[in-house]
Amino acid sequence: MKIAALQMVATPDVERNLGAAHRLMAQAADAGATLVALPEYFCLMGQSDRDKLAIAEDAGSGPIQDSLSAAARQHGLWVIGGTLPIRSDDADHVYNACCVYAPDGTQAARYDKIHLFCFDNGRERYDEGLVLRGGSEPVAFGAAVAGSPAPIRVGLSICYDLRFPELYRTLMATPGQPPCDLIAVPAAFTHTTGRAHWELLLRARAVENQCYVIASAQGGLHENGRRTWGHSMVIDPWGEVLAVQPEGEGVVLADLDLDRLAAVRSQLPALAHRRPDGRF
């Protein structure tokens, strides 16, 4: 099964960003991908955080969501739609939502970012809580794929979530569900934090959860002056980076090999060695 992390350098113009996203999804589909993941804020990298409020959509309806649905249907893809702003019951705050679409264009899942980024090193200041409302529930979904006897289980997370391993342990140990085969991490890591921690944290999440990780990022200097780290990548369950793109727009393709996944979990059965109560 081919999967693709799509890297973008989003602008303050929604239409331009949707055009770039569609171009990348078409490129990935032409290369044989069956699942693609867009980056966080793929639809808008505004001049200020409050710009998200102006383009926010109602849950299940709006031009950005419709665009993702249409692309999934057109190309027969599972589309992990990066993130877009979804209205809350507070006009000054929106959810940073990852909406997933099945190959028939129906919405298969929605995850609202739980952990909201806050950073201040004296030169760069970010506080997502000023305009975002945090989600509360982990979300995973099953992606039916030709040739697989069971759906591929995909756990969702967003950017700053990467620093909270307990979220991923919860995704891996949902009662009545198998562990995730793939974890998705759409992101817009800053250049400063990305250079220090991005690959380190992604590989740790892959190793400790013995699963594939698809990390789709913003990567470059944006029109608003912000610089994001990029380095979109796909990582296997042994922590090996299978493919990466440092900066700029592009498609990062790799194979999700279920035999490889089973072999890693069989040879070093760490997931089975966790205490039944999940404490350690």
Q: Output the domain CATH number for residue 210.
A: 3.60.110.10
Marked catalytic residue, from 159, 180, 211, 249: 159
User: What's the distance, CA 27 to chain centroid?
Assistant: 19
**Is 113 one of the catalytic residues?**
yes
Strands annotated E in the chain: 2-7, 35-37, 78-80, 84-87, 94-101, 107-112, 118-120, 125-127, 132-133, 140-143, 152-156, 182-184, 212-215, 219-221, 227-229, 232-235, 241-245, 250-255
Pairing type for strands 84-87 and 78-80 reads unpaired
What is the structure's pLDDT at 145?
86
- Is 159 labeled as catalytic in the residue annotation? yes
User: Taking the alpha carbons of 54, 230, 201, 180 in that order, is the dihedral positive or negative?
Assistant: positive
Q: Using DSSP bridges, classify how beta strands 250-255 and 152-156 pair: parallel, antiparallel or unpaired.
A: unpaired
Domain-located, residue 279:
no
Question: Is 200 within the bounds of a domain?
Answer: yes
Domain extent, residue 223, equals: 2-273
- The catalytically annotated residue of 113, 128, 180, 211 is 113
Q: For residues 73, 77, 83 and 85, what is the CA-based torsion angle, rounded to 10 degrees?
A: 10
pLDDT at 203 over 80: yes
Q: What is the pLDDT of residues 77-99, one digit of tens each?
A: 999 999 999 999 999 999 999 99
| CA dist., res. 267 & res. 233, Å (int) | 25
Query: Which single residue is written with the structure tokens 């006009």?
Result: 91
- The predicted model gives 145-149 an average pLDDT of 83
Orientation of helix 14-30 relative to helix 63-75, angle to 10°: 10
**Angle of helix 165-172 versus helix 199-209 axis, rounded to 10:** 30
DSSP 255: E
The helix (H) or strand (E) run that includes residue 33 is: none
**Is the pLDDT confidence value at 37 over 80?**
yes
What is the 8-class DSSP label of residue 196? I
Q: How high does pLDDT run on average in the chain?
A: 96
Into how many domains does the chain fold? 1
Inform me whether the pLDDT recorded for 221 exceeds 80: yes
Q: How many CB atoms lie within 10 A of CB 241?
A: 17
Closest CA to 8 of 236, 217, 240: 217
**Is 279's pLDDT higher than 80?**
no
The reply to whether 136 falls in a domain is yes
Reply yes or no on whether 99 is catalytic. Answer: no
Please report whether residue 278 resides in a domain. no
- Tokens matching residue 174: 């949902």
Q: What would the pLDDT profile of 101-126 be if each residue is shown by its tens digit?
A: 999 999 999 999 999 999 999 888 88
Residue 122 lies inside a defined structural domain of this protein: yes
pLDDT at 278: 72
Confidence grade of residue 275 (pLDDT, cut at 50, 70, 90): confident
